[in-house]
A = this chain, B = another copy of it.
Amino acid sequence: MSYPKTLTTLIQTLKKLPGVGQKTAERFAFQMLSWQEKDLINLSTAVSDVKQNLTYCSDCGCLIETGPCNYCTSTKRDPKTLCIVSSAKDVFAIEEMRLFNGIFHVMHGLLSPMDGRTVTDLDLNKLKARIQSLGTQEVIIALDSTVEGDATALFLKKELEPLGLFLSRLALGLPMGSSLDFVDEGTLSRAFAGRHSF
């Protein structure tokens, strides 16, 4: 005898979440059965609202609630510095630092031929047009330090270099609080190559 249909439907739907397999989905579903009605309604509403109330800014690609984009329209931000990130989530990580006060440009993905994401998906013309219209002087490439991130960064470097901007990429090195014992070879060699006078 298998689970009742309603439960099976819920389990199948929960399995779409990243890292959630059959067992975890079952655990979530049975936990939900013990929730109060109002908590279930809250989750149900939050899930259905997420796409209706949130959108990506057509200029910078940041995640915004309906209305003008806080990042693009703010007068306190410096349009001369443009930070390129791969996803809208990265914007929040950078904002959390409270160090950067420029404008963002979300690529919504990296070059990844294996997943069918090629150069045309990066929409470079839009990026170049923004750099032109904003009068950007510095471009900070804040992409992941993965194979895809490296490839995309190199491609962007090649494409943006002729524009005569100051181009930079985030430093690669030891993460805070790490010990050399546990750091992988790649990170260690990058940290060596990027050593600075002290």
Interface residues of A (CB under 8 A from B): 1-7, 9-10, 13-14, 16-19, 24, 26-33, 35, 37, 39-51, 53-54, 63-65, 70, 87-89, 92, 95
**Given A32-B47, A40-B50, 9 further pairs, Cβ under 8 A:** A4-B53, A4-B54, A4-B63, A4-B64, A4-B65, A7-B63, A9-B49, A10-B49, A30-B87
Give every chain B residue within 8 A of A24 (Cβ-Cβ): 19
A13-B39 in contact (CB<8A)? yes
Q: Give the oligomeric copy count.
A: 2
B5-A18 in contact (CB<8A)? no
Give every chain B residue within 8 A of A13 (Cβ-Cβ): 39, 42-43, 46
A92-B3 in contact (CB<8A)? yes
Give every chain B residue within 8 A of A50 (Cβ-Cβ): 6-7, 10, 29, 32-33, 40
Give every chain B residue within 8 A of A48 (Cβ-Cβ): 40-41, 44
- Across the interface, A47 reaches (CB within 8 A) one of B16, B43, B53, B92, namely B43
Cα A51 to Cα B38 in complex, Å, equals 10
Give every chain B residue within 8 A of A32 (Cβ-Cβ): 17, 47, 50-51
A6-B40 in contact (CB<8A)? no
A44 → B minimal CB distance (Å): 4
